[in-house]
Amino acid sequence: MTWWKKSVVYQIYPRSFYDSNGDGLGDIRGIIEKLDYLEKLGIDVIWLSPVYESPQDDNGYDISDYRNIWSKFGTNEDMFELIDKAHEKNIKIVMDLVANHTSDEHKWFVESKKSKDNPYRDYYFWRDEKNNWESYFSGPAWQFDETTGQYYLHLFTKKQPDLNWENPVVRNEIWDMMKFWMDKGVDGWRMDVISSISKYTDFPDYDLEEGEIGIGDYHTNGPKLHDYIKEMNKEVLSKYDCMTVGEAPGSSPENALLFCGKDRDELNMIFTFDHMDLDRNMDSEIGKWSLRDLDLVEFKETLEAWQTSLYNKGWNSLYLENHDQARVVSRWGNDKEYRKESAKMFALVYQMMQGTPYIYQGQEIGMVNTDFDIEDYKDVEIRNAYKDLVLERKLTTKEDFMKAVHRISRDNARTPMQWNDSSNGGFTSGEPWLKVNPSYKTINVEESLADEDSIFYFYKKLIDQRHDDDMITDAEFRLVDKDNKKVFAYERYLGDKSILIIANFYSEPVDFDLDTYKLEDYRLDLSNYKDMVADGNKISLRPYEAIMLKNY
């Protein structure tokens, strides 16, 4: 079954969604209370970021018990109730499968580090020597452990040791755990850094200067990656009617088909990073913290490559925000006078492509980035990078680093959901775990629901489009006026039918000539302005104006 092709997914970051008991953290009962809201938006699937037991070094992406819900989020019974109540509303639940690594407090690791002959020793990678791999969260990817005098591998923090998937016992543990949740009604998985589960087990050094460490091709797409995913599909996924999306750093439109190609029996789709990395110099010494302006033509060509390469062969996931990315209106749009226009423009542009769209909590009301001081950020990635790049290695200044934090860091997306204009944006009656964005006074759910012209209702219309018009799911994609530096325009076409999406990406007005298309053949189906201004075949686009034209 391919229900996921007509589905729109809503991502919930539980600790920041809604706090039902006043402890300052969102929880599962809070999600249950807000199901009516999600039903109103019209989404089909909820993807829940991790809710399992965890010391929370990386906000739950460090799991210490896969089969129990973290007590501050609730109980297993709460989770089962959420699954049932969501199902009653025809909303499916997808959980986060974080199986590249566990927490160092998981009993497997606690055992593993005890001795070299412990039965759990081979659940992780232990070596006498470390190589020059860097962790994604700063510092070496190997941590020395005194008990046995060896190093263990951790691609993320040292509290997130990497599991050894070479060991069939580990794989079976994962399959059993997946079945445990799926037997409770879970409808699928978002798979955390799935492209890293197979390692180059000879751990080859990168070509670097003595003493340097780095991140490169060996961090992803290891030799047995697809064997493992195929095995997972055979042992688990094929037995359920489920949806799967793999987070796949290091993927290209070509190797995406290895994951989601029609005949591959692996996953339904993957998340690419290609379009999200275009506003930073990933190769620079300070990696993602080195900013550059987004080049619209490059952005269009990147998305085009994914749209065309996967057409009829695989399936795309469509996203601009998640818990690891900043708020798109602040990052690439205008979060001041054109906040509403630019939020709707992005929505129209990405949602009307082919694939399964993901909406990250708060995106549907146009939430914006933060400009906190360094002390107010909680994210381990920000904190480690600040210490490493600014304080210790002095590779950048605090000022430049903070500019990057305010533009692209993960905590921008993790501030509590803004429900209304009461204290803490109605998120909690207690002390929120991370500061609420002060914008809650004007940007909040209550305001959005009361305004029929809001971003929320615009998203709702886009979701209806995906449900009602097969062109959105089936039609082919081509860029229109590809080299235009101001306008993102594309066509979805199939047989005689054609949809044109035309969007002014910036705050200056711009004229757009339809060229070989005839405006008289089309009607305006959706827009973020009240009308359309055109003269002959020339459309005058106002700031961030985005329109959808249909010839049928």
Six token digits for residue 490: 């594309």
Residues 472, 488: Cα–Cα separation, whole Å:
17
Comparison of 126 and 137: residue with beta carbon closer to ligand GLC: 137
Would you count residue 19 as binding ligand GLC (CB under 6 A)?
Answer: no
Residues 126, 273: Cα–Cα separation, whole Å:
30
Comparison of 323 and 331: residue with beta carbon closer to ligand GLC: 323
Show contacts with ligand GLC in window 223-252 (CB under 6 A).
247
Residues 529, 503: Cα–Cα separation, whole Å:
12
**Least Å from the CB of residue 98 to ligand GLC:** 6
Using an 8 Å Cβ cutoff, are 403 and 291 in contact?
A: yes
β-pairing verdict for 243-247 and 476-480: unpaired
Question: Which residue, chain included where needed, has tokens 């055992």?
Answer: 111
Would you count residue 324 as binding ligand GLC (CB under 6 A)?
Answer: yes
Show contacts with ligand GLC in window 155-184 (CB under 6 A).
156
Q: Which residues are catalytic?
A: 192, 247
- Burial (0-12, 13-18, 19+ Cβ within 10 Å), 336: exposed
β-pairing verdict for 52-53 and 142-145: unpaired
Other residues' Cβ atoms within 10 Å of the Cβ of residue 121: 18
Which residue from 58, 134, 341, 411 is in contact with ligand GLC, where contact means CB under 6 A?
A: 58
Comparison of 323 and 339: residue with beta carbon closer to ligand GLC: 323
- Determine the size of the site formed for ligand GLC (CB under 6 A): 9
Show contacts with ligand GLC in window 85-144 (CB under 6 A).
98
- Spatial neighbors of 396 by CB under 8 A, at least 6 apart, are 286, 289, 290, 389, 390
Give bridge partners of residue 540 from the DSSP assignment.
511
Residues 50, 67: Cα–Cα separation, whole Å:
12
Comparison of 17 and 477: residue with beta carbon closer to ligand GLC: 17
**Least Å from the CB of residue 263 to ligand GLC:** 28
Using an 8 Å Cβ cutoff, are 449 and 457 in contact?
A: no
Short-list 49, 62, 55, CA closest to 14: 49
Which residue from 38, 46, 48, 193 is in contact with ligand GLC, where contact means CB under 6 A?
A: 193
**Least Å from the CB of residue 400 to ligand GLC:** 23
- With CB atoms as reference, the residue minimizing the distance to ligand GLC is 61
**Least Å from the CB of residue 134 to ligand GLC:** 14
**Least Å from the CB of residue 50 to ligand GLC:** 8
Q: Three-state DSSP class for 325?
A: coil
**Least Å from the CB of residue 157 to ligand GLC:** 8
Would you count residue 189 as binding ligand GLC (CB under 6 A)?
Answer: no
**Least Å from the CB of residue 336 to ligand GLC:** 29
- Burial (0-12, 13-18, 19+ Cβ within 10 Å), 485: exposed
Cα torsion through 62, 67, 71, 74, rounded to 10: 120
Comparison of 62 and 469: residue with beta carbon closer to ligand GLC: 62
Residues 498, 476: Cα–Cα separation, whole Å:
9
Comparison of 96 and 545: residue with beta carbon closer to ligand GLC: 96
Comparison of 61 and 228: residue with beta carbon closer to ligand GLC: 61
Comparison of 384 and 551: residue with beta carbon closer to ligand GLC: 384
Show contacts with ligand GLC in window 394-433 (CB under 6 A).
none
Angstrom distances, CA of residue 491 to CA of 308, 318, 514, 551: 12, 17, 11, 11
Residues 160, 67: Cα–Cα separation, whole Å:
18
Residues 395, 391: Cα–Cα separation, whole Å:
9
Comparison of 271 and 338: residue with beta carbon closer to ligand GLC: 271
Amino acid sitting at position 532:
M
**Least Å from the CB of residue 421 to ligand GLC:** 30
**Least Å from the CB of residue 379 to ligand GLC:** 9
Which residue from 4, 18, 61, 73 is in contact with ligand GLC, where contact means CB under 6 A?
A: 61
Six token digits for residue 444: 């909040």
Q: How far is CA 414 from the centre of its chain?
A: 12
Would you count residue 458 as binding ligand GLC (CB under 6 A)?
Answer: no
Show contacts with ligand GLC in window 26-55 (CB under 6 A).
none
What is the per-residue DSSP string for 439-479?
GGGTSSHHHHHH-TTSHHHHHHHHHHHHHH-HHHHH-EEEE
Q: How many CA atoms lie within 13 A of 324 on its CB side?
A: 17
Binding mask 266-305 for ligand GLC (x = CB under 6 A): ----------------------------------------
Would you count residue 192 as binding ligand GLC (CB under 6 A)?
Answer: yes
Using an 8 Å Cβ cutoff, are 108 and 120 in contact?
A: yes
**Least Å from the CB of residue 371 to ligand GLC:** 22
β-pairing verdict for 497-504 and 546-550: antiparallel
Residues 397, 401: Cα–Cα separation, whole Å:
6
Comparison of 325 and 528: residue with beta carbon closer to ligand GLC: 325
Residues 432, 110: Cα–Cα separation, whole Å:
32
Per CB under 6 A, residues contacting ligand GLC are 58, 61, 98, 156, 192-193, 247, 323-324
